[in-house]
Amino acid sequence: MTPIHQARIEGPSAWTPASIGGKEGLVRTLTAAQIAAIDELLRATRHLRMEDIRLSEFDHPALTPFLSGIRDQIMHREGAAIIRGVDADKYSREDCERIFWGFGTHWGKAAVQSARADRIGYVRHEPSDPRGYRSSDELVLHTDSRPIIALMSIQNAASGGYSQVASSMTIHNIIRHERPDLLPPLYEGHQYLSNELDLTPCKIPVFSDVDGVVTCMFFEPHIRKAARKIGQIDPLMDEAVRFFRQVADREDVRLHFMLERGEIMVCNNFSVLHARTEFENSADRQRLLLRLWLNTPDGRPTVPEVHYKSREFDRMFDPEFAG
């Protein structure tokens, strides 16, 4: 458990939907010159397998400063950005995947997402798959275990499937102001239990402070699963988790929007939570998003516990894992 951050968190990372001007406050739109650069890079890398494309192969003077600006926004400012301008009707699905992968090389290294060691995921409804992101159910506000998550919309559902994001720094400020007595259990954290991994031997803090920088990791279903396996949850921790969720769900904290076809959302998992609403497909409208989990070597200062789940996942499923 790190010391509790006592001061109010200031700056662009502690935003609200009103302070950033809604979805449009996060949008960064590609110019015609940048689209032309993307087309040039697609032609230049056509001979490569998508996963063999590295930053050096997807570097262009008209595009790289834009993607560097996106990285700065997610790592040092709002913690979230939405890229607009990739025409999902102009590009094939394969080209969309290549563009998405190429963009990702500017923000970090793609991590494996399943036992198949795939590094680009498909977020869609697959009834035979028990994982939440493969259902059509609501996914409540949470963080993933990697520093960065990126999502690209290929096709919207017939109805529903709205995206939501919220600043965990703003949530920290509200809890500090309204219920400071709940910060100690959130800083102490709780063990996790997921479908892929057993009960974690360590507690994973919801909040931690390293060198004056607050980090958040919050996935309530894994906390609840662990509590059921243990047989109990500390009452104060239970109240703290519930209150965290209530604050995150406030309309003046949570940004609610549709990620339109071709748009890319990038989030810093350590400062922003994300979610999606329930959706319903039809015969000709099958919701599909591409997903990247990205590791970054020079990101937010963190305690090792927030990386336990991702390191164990890599140890089990990543053929390139080096310990």
Q: In which domain, by residue range, is 312 found?
A: 17-317
3-state secondary structure at position 282: strand
| Segments in 143-182 forming alpha helices (H) | 168-178
Q: Residue 45: inside a domain, yes or no?
A: yes
Q: What's the gap between Cα 109 and its chain centre?
A: 14
3-state secondary structure at position 12: coil
Q: Are 193 and 312 in contact (CB under 8 A)?
A: no
Domain count, the chain: 1
Q: Residue 323: inside a domain, yes or no?
A: no
The CATH code of the domain that includes 161 is 3.60.130.10
Contacts of 302 (CB under 8 A, 6+ apart): 208, 210, 215, 270
Q: Residue 6: inside a domain, yes or no?
A: no
Q: Which of these, 166, 167, 151, 17, lies nearest to 83 by C-alpha position?
A: 151
Q: Are 143 and 254 in contact (CB under 8 A)?
A: no
**Global pTM?**
0.95
Joined together, the tokens standing for residue 265 give 């959302």
3-state secondary structure at position 166: strand
Distance CA 199, CA 222 (A): 9
Q: Which of these, 309, 276, 142, 275, lies nearest to 220 by C-alpha position?
A: 142
Q: Are 151 and 121 in contact (CB under 8 A)?
A: no
Q: Residue 5: inside a domain, yes or no?
A: no
pLDDT in tens, the chain (323 residues): 899 999 999 999 999 999 999 999 999 999 999 999 999 999 999 999 999 999 999 999 999 999 999 999 999 999 999 999 999 999 999 999 999 999 999 999 999 998 889 999 999 988 777 676 778 888 999 999 999 999 999 999 999 999 999 999 999 999 999 999 999 999 999 999 987 789 999 999 999 999 999 999 999 999 999 999 999 999 999 999 999 999 999 999 999 999 999 999 999 999 999 999 999 999 999 999 999 999 998 889 999 999 999 999 999 999 988 76
